[in-house]
Amino acid sequence: MTDTVVEALVLDLLDWLESGERTYTEVMDAWRTSCPRLPIWEEANDRGLIANEYRGGRELIRLTSAGRFLLKRRGRSQQSRVL
């Protein structure tokens, strides 16, 4: 898997998370993989782009400020699409 493909998929994950609140289970169902060549969830975590948050008895996954910054820098944040 090339770095370019991994980067594009990480941006897709961040974009998907920005579109609405997601539980840990939803994220794992959609993005976890056992393929060592496709480490999207792990890559986003390792880079500090996403974080776990416990709210109302649920484990939620949210973008960190670094994740929002990366989306905005790449022109993929919802804020940049509205303007």
**For 3-41, how does the pLDDT look when each residue is reduced to its tens digit (9 = 90+)?**
788 889 999 999 999 988 899 999 988 887 766 666 788
Q: Is the dihedral of CA 26, 28, 31, 33 positive or negative?
A: negative
Cβ atoms within 10 Å, residue 65: 10
Q: At which residue do the structure tokens 């303007």 appear? A: 83
Amino acid at 80: S
**For 42-78, how does the pLDDT look when each residue is reduced to its tens digit (9 = 90+)?**
899 999 999 999 999 999 999 999 999 999 988 876 6
Q: What pLDDT, on a 0 to 100 scale, did the predictor assign at position 82?
A: 45
DSSP state of 53: E
46: exposed, middle or buried (C-beta count within 10 Å: 0-12, 13-18, 19+)? exposed
Q: Whole-prediction pTM value?
A: 0.81
User: Hey, where are the domains in the chain?
Assistant: 3-78
Does the domain at 3-78 match CATH 1.10.10.10? Answer given as: yes
